[in-house]
Amino acid sequence: MALPLHQRRAVKIGLAAVAIAMTTGCVTVYQPLVGLQRPIALDPQTPTNFTDNTRVLVRCHPGDGVEADVLCRNVRSSLSKQGATVTTEVVRPSGKVAAPDRIETPPQFIIDITSKLIHHDDSALLSLLCIASFTLIPAVEEWTFGQEIRIRDAQGFLLAQQSFQERFVESFGLGVWALNGIIDLLIRPKSEQVTGDGYKEEFTRDLHGHLAQLLYNAKVRARVMNSFAPEPSAEKPKGTAP
Amino acid sequence: MNRALLLCALSSCAIDTLAFKTKAERRNLDCQRLSDVEAAARYPGQVPPPPAKELAGGVGDVLACSTRYLETGERPNRDEAILSSLSTQVTELADSAGAMAPQTTRWHVDAFYPSLPVAQKIAVAARTTLAQRGFIVSDRVPTLAAGDVAFLVTLPQSEVYRIACARSFVTEVLGPDEALLGLMIVDPKETQLHGGVCLRGEWRWLP
Amino acid sequence: MRAALLFSLVSTVAFAEEVDLNAKQVELLRAEVASDVQLQAAELIDELVYGWTKESPFDVDTGVVLAGVSVPVSLGTGLEAYLENHVAGLVVKNPKTHVQFVHCPACSAWVVHSGAKGTVVTRGYDDPEALAQAGISSGAKHALFLDFEAEGASLVLRARITTLEPSLRIVSARTLSTATSTPAMLRDGAKLTSVAEARKEYLDALGGRGLFLVPVRVGIRNYASGTQSTTNATPFLWVSAGFEAAFTQARAWTASLNAAFSWLPQSHVAVMAQGRISRLLTGSATSLTWPDLYAFVGAGVLFGQGRGMLIFRTSQNPTIDEILNTSTNNEPRSTLGILTIGAELRVKNRISLIAFLETLPALENEDNIGTYVTIPLINLRFQSFGVEVSFCF
């Protein structure tokens, strides 16, 4: 049996709303602000950057909008792939260390990573317009994060430090998403595409690359400060064969 | 052509110009956040003066971005990393060096870097910094005899600066009232400068 | 085999052309960067020479060899020549510096000097003893070196004056820096001023722009053809003048009020009053050098008389008799409200190009006039499209 006219119209509007909600997406743009856009001389893809028994403790400090444990895990993975032996510590807001990795030999280098949310902007007016226009007008939200990285040797001597800042601008809405999707599909090369998770990869590549460069610099600085003396061999863990 | 200046008062900007920039263009910007008041003073005519309530202590901020003179990729990565932070690195090392010798010491400066033009930039920066600090600085670069140099190049890096320094003092290339500030990289994959001072035949690395 | 050889040759040629093209693009890019750098570099030299006029490195007029100008690594030598000329010109115009440039081609030439310690090959200014012994010294006792380097978004000048004696002692050194975000002051070489004074001049120039403008506009409005109408509206030519006010020097928000007049023989006489509020889209302040894009909304009232106004009548379609009726006593009259949205591209607050759409709410349900654009959700019809050229005084 055919539905009355007003009911058919309601069904059509409902289906259109569902279709819009399903196809609406975010476009996030990443912009390095401080430090991260500088070039590095090291290739972080090289698995032999830290193969000469480089032992590192990565200590991640908490910050607004930052998951310190995820950051620590990712950094460990990145440095391990380059040959370093990495242990991690996540410092809780109370100052206590949460579930540190078991350390068998003392680290040569201690990396302290402090992250914080520097700025957050969310326009209420644009959000209202976004809702009123069925997301044709995008809602725009923006975050600026900062990282402070310090690398010390086992004695606490500061070998390297660097500050980074980056900005993420997220536009939510059907119009902006569809328009960028079409441009991505037809015009932009893959490296320039803005829909999808490319911004995460780019930021991770920047941060991990600079972290590796900073660790490498710290390692060379330590060698110079020791007048190129050969590094003492690491203590063997107890219970292992001589 | 006017260099692009991206100034976006985040609270009032209708279109964020970031949206129209390519990845390469975004990476070619050096940015900093400024308060409304500071931004209006620094960029008159481009950033409007903040409303009175912000002058009275309210907080608003502006992202001020400057385009870098040379884009990423125009110079080799290591050269760019060193040159971008030349003033900072050289100033730190020159200040440390200045504290290691009496004020009456005559300073010579030399830089050891694979690219000659970059090495000259490093040396000039250090000389200028030391001279501005009131030290006696010479433009002359002390050079050892060809035979000494031929021998030094066969030595490992851990020995070369120490022995070259001792040899300079013995052969009177450097007098007792003279010091050499050496600036260098010691590893091809690093992007930081190291410094060492040769004074009365003794070589010391700078912290 | 022959095909493979031919292909490889073709691809080699294509590759060579590509490399050649890339090289040309790199050279073009470098030339562009150099042209950007030269203003800031000249600015730094202005500041250096201004500093010498206030505190000269010498008590009396002293001969100085301009020994070298080095530009940022990877930039070309054309910039060096420009900067040498600039500093030489400034020093001549500012005798208070006590610096007198001396011509000494041998100083920058390579000199071979053989002595008891061996043979040394150096630049002339690095080995003044050799110059003196060869009798080609210019008599100058000092050499000036200018070194420019691009450090991120900053251009740094390191200037040093060295004695042309065996010790090569540096007697004066200065480091100056500027950033790409700072506009060059473009100071007058013959009358150098301090940065503070130059900034004040700049602010005065900005202040001189004023908050108020008088825009005069010439434009045309066209109306969409109606579905039921037997005739189309003729395009209306308008001339208008008015008054525009900005809230701040940034001109991010502006408001304007205009009176317009339109006349076409045998067709119509019309006047219109219109107000607009505009918002700058390209940044938060107008640019001194680039065009600015505004979006605006407006509202107005139009009153017209004549046969050309028949199309705006709301009651019924015009008849042939009405169209042919030439009696001025019975000319149709219309008064209409208008809502406008549009965009304005303006250059230096002087000339602008405007495009807009207008809706005539009174004719919302009439078929005499058609629709160019309809906003679907609110069913707003724009029946008129127009463009204007505006001159601001």
**Of the segments A32-46, A165-179, B9-23, B31-45, which one has the largest average pLDDT value?**
A32-46
**pLDDT single digits (tens) A195-241:** 778 888 899 999 999 999 999 999 999 999 888 877 655 444 443 33
Q: What is the mean pLDDT of residues C28-46?
A: 72
DSSP of C148-186: EEEETTEEEEEEEEEESSTT-BEEEEEEEEEETTSPP--
Per-residue pLDDT for A122 more than 80? yes
- At A237 the pLDDT is 41
With a CB cutoff of 8 Å and minimum separation 6, the contacts of B183 are B90, B93, B109, B110, B111, B112, B122, B123, B126, B193, B194, B195
What residues 98-127 of chain C have any CB closer than 8 A to a CB of chain B?
117-118, 126
Indicate which of B46, B78, B129 best probes the interface with C, i.e. most C CBs within 10 Å of its own CB: B46
- At B45 the pLDDT is 64
Residue B6 burial by Cβ neighbours in a 10 Å radius (0-12, 13-18, 19+) = buried
CATH for the C36-103+138-206 domain, from 2.80.10, 3.30.420, 3.40.50, 3.30.379? 3.40.50
Bridge partners (DSSP) of residue C62 are C99
Which residue in chain B has the smallest CA separation from A33?
B31
Q: What is the mean pLDDT of residues C220-232?
A: 75
Among the partner-chain residues C145, C156, C180, the one whose CB lies closest to the CB of B67 is C180
**Which chain C residues have any C-beta within 8 angstroms of a chain A C-beta?**
152, 377
- With beta carbons less than 8 A apart as the criterion, state whether B62 and B33 touch: yes
Chains in contact with C, counting 3 or more C-beta pairs less than 8 Å apart as contact: A, B
Per-residue pLDDT for B105 more than 60? yes
The domain spanning residue A103 has which CATH number? 3.40.50
**Of the segments B31-40, B54-63, C205-214, which one has the largest average pLDDT value?**
B31-40
Per-residue pLDDT for C29 more than 60? no
A21, part of any domain: no
- With beta carbons less than 8 A apart as the criterion, state whether A175 and A134 touch: no
**pLDDT single digits (tens) C132-174:** 666 666 667 888 999 999 998 889 999 999 988 888 899 999 9
Structure tokens at A210: 């600079």
d(CA A70, CA B77): 30
Distance from CA of C98 to the nearest CA of B (A): 20
- At C19 the pLDDT is 47
C-alpha dihedral over C179, C185, C189, C194, to 10 degrees?
-90
Under 8 Å CB pairs connecting chains B and C tally to 174
Whether C283 and chain B come into contact, CB under 8 Å, resolves to: yes
Per-residue pLDDT for C382 more than 70? yes
Q: Provide the CB-side half-sphere exposure for B16 (13 A, CA).
A: 25
Query: Which of A156-160, C39-43, C258-262 comes out lowest in average pLDDT?
Result: C39-43
**Mean of pLDDT over chain C:** 78
Chains in contact with B, counting 3 or more C-beta pairs less than 8 Å apart as contact: A, C
Residue range C209-392, CATH number: 2.40.160.20
Among the partner-chain residues B65, B138, B146, the one whose CB lies closest to the CB of C167 is B138
Residue A98 main-chain phi, psi, to 5 deg: -95, 125
Structural domain harbouring A113? 27-225
ipTM beyond cut 0.90: no
With a CB cutoff of 8 Å and minimum separation 6, the contacts of C8 are none
Residue C344, H or E segment: strand C333-347
d(CA A57, CA A149): 13
Indicate which of B12, B27, B79, B83 best probes the interface with A, i.e. most A CBs within 10 Å of its own CB: B27
Residues of chain C with CATH 3.40.50: 36-103+138-206
Q: What is the mean pLDDT of residues B43-64?
A: 65
Structure tokens at B171: 């052969």
- At C24 the pLDDT is 57
Question: Which residue do the tokens 């724009």 mark?
Answer: C382
- At B181 the pLDDT is 95
Which residue in chain A has the smallest CA separation from B206?
A225
With a CB cutoff of 8 Å and minimum separation 6, the contacts of C47 are C176, C195
Residue C11 burial by Cβ neighbours in a 10 Å radius (0-12, 13-18, 19+) = exposed
C-alpha dihedral over B166, B167, B172, B175, to 10 degrees?
-20
Separation in Å, CA C189 to CA C179, C180, C185, C194: 21, 21, 11, 12
Per-residue pLDDT for C335 more than 60? yes
d(CA C156, CA C323): 76
A172, part of any domain: yes
Whether A7 and chain C come into contact, CB under 8 Å, resolves to: no
Of A30 and C122, the one with more pLDDT: A30
Q: What is the mean pLDDT of residues A84-99?
A: 79
- At C77 the pLDDT is 60
- At C8 the pLDDT is 41
- At A236 the pLDDT is 43
Residues of chain B with CATH 3.40.50: 77-205
Q: First CA to last CA across chain C, in angstroms?
A: 74
Secondary structure letter of residue A20 according to DSSP? H
Query: Which of B70-84, B130-144, C102-116, C278-292 comes out lowest in average pLDDT?
Result: C102-116
Alpha helices per DSSP H over chain B: 23-27, 36-42, 52-55, 77-84, 86-98, 116-132, 146-152, 157-170
- At B5 the pLDDT is 39
Closest CA to C72 of C61, C80, C64, C82: C80
Bridge partners (DSSP) of residue A160 are A151
Structure tokens at A119: 């700025």
- At B8 the pLDDT is 40
Residue A68 main-chain phi, psi, to 5 deg: -65, -35
Residue C202, H or E segment: helix C195-207
- At B9 the pLDDT is 37
Which residue in chain C has the smallest CA separation from B84?
C151
- At C40 the pLDDT is 84
Closest CA to B89 of A31, C349, C82, A221: A221
What residues 131-160 of chain C have any CB closer than 8 A to a CB of chain B?
145, 147, 149-156, 158-160
Residues of A in contact with C377 (CB under 8 A): 133-134
Residues of chain C with CATH 2.40.160.20: 209-392
Per-residue pLDDT for C258 more than 60? yes
- At C9 the pLDDT is 39
Query: Which of B132-136, B146-150, C188-192 comes out lowest in average pLDDT?
Result: C188-192
**pLDDT single digits (tens) C295-332:** 999 999 999 888 777 777 655 555 666 655 555 556 77
| Identity of the residue numbered C347 | V
**Cβ–Cβ gap C37/B69 under 8 Å:** yes
Whether A133 and chain C come into contact, CB under 8 Å, resolves to: yes
A3, part of any domain: no
Separation in Å, CA C85 to CA B12, B44, B158, C35, C88: 45, 32, 46, 15, 5
- At A9 the pLDDT is 65
**pLDDT single digits (tens) C341-381:** 999 999 877 889 999 999 988 877 777 788 888 877 777 88
Closest CA to C157 of A102, B86, B159: B86
**pLDDT single digits (tens) A131-173:** 887 888 888 888 899 999 999 999 999 999 999 999 998 888 8
In this prediction, residue A184 has a pLDDT band, given cuts at 50, 70 and 90, of: confident
Per-residue pLDDT for C115 more than 80? no
Query: Which of B27-36, B129-138, C55-64 comes out lowest in average pLDDT?
Result: B27-36
Residue C21, H or E segment: helix C2-54
Q: Domain B77-205, what fold?
A: Rossmann fold (3.40.50)
Distance of CA A195 to the CA centre of its chain: 18
**pLDDT single digits (tens) A6-28:** 666 666 655 555 555 544 578 88
Distance from CA of A99 to the nearest CA of B (A): 33
Q: What percent of chain B has pLDDT over 70?
A: 82
Residue C239 burial by Cβ neighbours in a 10 Å radius (0-12, 13-18, 19+) = middle
In this prediction, residue C76 has a pLDDT band, given cuts at 50, 70 and 90, of: low
A199, part of any domain: yes
Q: What is the mean pLDDT of residues C182-198?
A: 65
Per-residue pLDDT for A181 more than 90? no
d(CA C7, CA C1): 10
Closest CA to B178 of B92, B109, B113, B75: B109
